[in-house]
Amino acid sequence: MAKINESLFSVEGLDKRLAIKKFWKVMMTEYWIPKDINFLWAMGVVLAVTFKILIITGIFLMMYYKPDVNLAFDSVNYTIMQEVGYGWLFRHMHGVAASVIFLVIYIHMFTGIYYGSYKKGREMIWISGMLLFMTFSAAGFSGYMLPWGQMSYWAAAVITNLFAGGSLEAWGLVEWIRGGFAVNDATLTRFYMLHVFLLPLAILGIIVLHFYTLRIPHVNNQSSEEIDYDAEAEKYLEGHKKESKVIPFWPVFLSKDFAVLGVFLIFYFYLVFFNYNFAMDPVNFDPANSMVTPAHIYPEWYFLWSYETLRGPFFDILGMKAMDIGLIIFGFAQVAFLIVPFLDRDPDILPAHRRQKFQIWFWIMVLDMMVLTIYGKLPPTGANAWVGFGATLVFLALFISMPFITKSDAKKRGVL
């Protein structure tokens, strides 16, 4: 190590201490973070760690899982849960992580919307993040099918049947995806391949893209203040740390990340050991049976808001079938958040509490998402159906009105 250090810092004509200082300036301060940010900015590292947990536990589960309609259910509920040492622990860790990661994703996503972290050069950060969300959703759905329980089977039947809506039926997409006219062994094998190979590779690639795009513009801060990062970095390096508005990513900001991560892991392992059932539907502990339809079919909680937009229209409108209308709204819901940077017409980067109408829009959107999630799990009968339909219309209205609301805020401040 001594030889390496000498060669590293032997800069001709410069004092050795100056060379060391320059070296650490590059190593420690290549990327600067605003000082005035809270724990919500740590959700990225929490997501990265949770994804690693999913990968590691998934590898162990793959060793004993059988992607066969006659063996899949028993391989999960008997072999892994009862015969393999600590198999129950790996299944609980995997199941809980699959649910918790979506909770963190939604927090991360709503934080970005609230603070306008998708604007002015940050569009690719947002778009790559939303592509990551979509890919995680596909991975979550494919994984939900693998235990081959009743809800797994029928949820797969309902979701794949979406590709028979409208004129899509003529293309035969449902049969192509399923590998037959019904959800069968070929369907399970295909979704197993997607879940354990193709989708994890896609997620890793998009994560790299997401982190790369994050390096181009600086991280947005709570106040959206424009900061001269070079000048503030010089203050920090000269010892004026209190006056500086920025901190180095390593090790200062990461130490905050690790503190938040520690609290998250306590919460996560509490769920793993004491409340893991929240991530496992009771109906899914019954083997898949194509001859017995569950009284009420629904996906996992993180898909419920989207599912409710699909079934929200429960009657024909202007000659259009309810299923086709629901399919159109469902398709819009899948891209609504992706195009937020282009719907927001306010040129300034400001948090929601500094944009009067947008703040109201944001909290109505959060409340509407909660209503859609709650009613997505309830049977669509009576008042439930009307509430779900109303929440679906509110969701549509929110994103259609977003350009007008944000433009109005900008005009009120005299920007436009």
Question: Given a cut of 50, is residue 6 above it in pLDDT?
Answer: no
Q: pLDDT tens digit string along 149-190? A: 999 999 999 888 887 765 566 567 888 888 888 899 999 999
Q: What is the DSSP letter of 164?
A: G
Q: pLDDT tens digit string along 208-219? A: 999 888 776 767
Question: Given a cut of 80, is residue 270 above it in pLDDT?
Answer: yes
Whole-number Å distance between alpha carbons of 239 and 376: 55
CA angle 53/55/58 to nearest 5° reads 100
Give the pLDDT confidence score for residue 131 in this predicted structure. Answer: 95
What is the pLDDT of the chain when averaged over all its residues?
87
Average pLDDT, integer, range 343-351? 91
Whole-number Å distance between alpha carbons of 120 and 350: 11
Q: Where are the domains of the chain?
A: 31-297, 301-416
Whole-number Å distance between alpha carbons of 140 and 312: 23
Strand, helix or coil for residue 339: coil
Using CA of residue 114, residue 119, residue 121, residue 122, what is the dihedral sign? positive
The CATH class of 31-297 is mainly alpha
Q: What is the DSSP letter of 218?
A: P
Whole-number Å distance between alpha carbons of 323 and 115: 36
Q: Is the whole-model pTM more than 0.95?
A: no
